[in-house]
Chains A and B, each alone.
Chain A
Amino acid sequence: MIRSEILKELKPLLSDQLVVCNIGLPSQELHMIDDQPTNFYMLGTMGLASSIGLGLALSQKEKVIAIDGDGSVLTNLGTLPTIANNVADNFILLIIDNGSYGSTGDQPTYAGKKTSLTDVAKACGCENVVECRAENTLDVMKKALEGNQMTIIVCKCESGNVKVPVITMDPVVIRDRFMKEVISKNT
């Protein structure tokens, strides 16, 4: 399974959740599969989806899912100790680990070689780290949403992309409609 197939499968679970989605193809795919005002698409700034997700989870009560990639987590590896030491039990970090920089031409990442992000996350102090195969992501995400514990999911999948249009929505519109959803979900 490739990332877009995983996102398609997760669609019913993600639809009404607050989702912070990684730059590039992940955001473009999610936007194409199921555009929702509860989605915060990153149009730039590689690496910060997990940081934005954690800041959001710590600042309000609703559950937050950050969809990140192995390459982006490697870019901002300092995020994992911060997550581990600032536990937000409404936070789920889904790392779609396809071992490649998908948006830039599928160059291999170190996560696809010797480096295990699951082990890195655990070594950083994250207490609830689940590694799964792509095919099991739906079940693992269901469990994470039912539980009340911060969860890091490392989903090992194949690399590969589908053709998707870029997101042309204005960033202020993305931000404004998302913030309105945050307010309405918290009241």
Chain B
Amino acid sequence: MLIEDKIVRDFVKNEISFVTTVPCKQLAGVIEKIEDSKDIYHIPSNKEDEGMGLCAGAYLGGKRPAIIMQNTAIGVTINTLVTLTQFYRMPLPMLISYRGELGEPVACQVEMAVHTKALLNQLNIPTYHFHKEGDVEELDKILQYTFMCNKPVAILTDATFWKGY
């Protein structure tokens, strides 16, 4: 089974039915599968904080949301994560492309990569790092955990996990 299929399968298994995405080359395959899934309403957003607003609304409406974005988005969304998602205690799985790691061809991506885990740590956001293909087996449990504790949870997926970018 392709990694992309496993991810979407676990989303659906955990009743995630509302997914917003901001594109990344590394995540292109999974975004395509989300778009094709008949169980998921896919709503692309123009900026990640907007996407988190959409997800908050979907959660208020009784749906389980998720956001797919790049790690650069952590810089964009700190205020939203703190004053909306965390302040109102809402669950939000964040499937994040961890750009700027081994195999990265674009130097500028490294500038945000070196801050990514420190920022997530500072925000007290539970963070998981998928580096090897087998790490995806933990996704189901991470999603269960997210909706158990009503917190934003970060799943960083790097270039080695995706087998090149």
Whether A171 sits at the interface, judged by CB under 8 Å, is yes
Whether B103 sits at the interface, judged by CB under 8 Å, is no
A93 to chain B, nearest CB (A): 12
B89–A59 CB distance below 8 A = no
Whether B57 sits at the interface, judged by CB under 8 Å, is yes
Q: How far does the alpha carbon of A60 sit from the alpha carbon of B41 in the complex, in Å?
A: 13
On chain B, the number of residues with a Cβ less than 8 Å from chain A's Cβ atoms is 32
Report the number of A-B residue pairs with Cβ-Cβ less than 8 Å: 115
Q: Which of A101-109, A147-155, A176-184 contacts B (4 or more CB under 8 A)?
A: A176-184
Whether A175 sits at the interface, judged by CB under 8 Å, is yes
User: What are the residues of chain B within 8 A of A40 when measuring CB–CB?
Assistant: 60
User: What are the residues of chain A within 8 A of B50 when measuring CB–CB?
Assistant: 47-48, 51, 76, 78-79, 82
Whether A45 sits at the interface, judged by CB under 8 Å, is yes
Chain A 84-109 against B: per-residue CB contact (8 Å), 1 yes, 0 no? 00100000000000000000000000
Q: Which residue of B lies closest to A23 (CB)?
A: B83
- Give the contacting residue for B83; candidates A45, A56, A60, A179; CB below 8 A: A45
Whether A132 sits at the interface, judged by CB under 8 Å, is no
A182–B18 CB distance below 8 A = no
Whether A162 sits at the interface, judged by CB under 8 Å, is no
Known pairs A56-B57, A58-B58, A81-B46; A48 contacts B80 (CB<8 A) = yes
B57–A86 CB distance below 8 A = no
Whether A141 sits at the interface, judged by CB under 8 Å, is no
**Residues from 34 to 52 in B contacting A, C-beta threshold 8 Å:** 41, 43-47, 49-52
Q: Which of B61-69, B132-140, B154-162 contacts A (4 or more CB under 8 A)?
A: B61-69
User: What are the residues of chain A within 8 A of B61 when measuring CB–CB?
Assistant: 55-60, 182
Known pairs A44-B79, A45-B80, A51-B57; A183 contacts B46 (CB<8 A) = no
Chain A 105-120 against B: per-residue CB contact (8 Å), 1 yes, 0 no? 0000000000000000
User: What are the residues of chain B within 8 A of A76 when measuring CB–CB?
Assistant: 47, 49-50, 53
Whether A65 sits at the interface, judged by CB under 8 Å, is no
Q: How far does the alpha carbon of A20 sit from the alpha carbon of B57 in the complex, in Å?
A: 9
Whether B153 sits at the interface, judged by CB under 8 Å, is no
B46–A175 CB distance below 8 A = no
User: What are the residues of chain B within 8 A of A58 when measuring CB–CB?
Assistant: 18, 41, 43, 57-58, 61
Whether B56 sits at the interface, judged by CB under 8 Å, is yes
User: What are the residues of chain A within 8 A of B47 when measuring CB–CB?
Assistant: 76, 78
Interface residues of B (CB under 8 A from A): 18, 41, 43-47, 49-63, 65, 79-80, 82-84, 87-90
Q: List 6 A-B contacts (CB under 8 A).
A: A43-B83, A44-B82, A51-B51, A55-B53, A55-B55, A82-B44
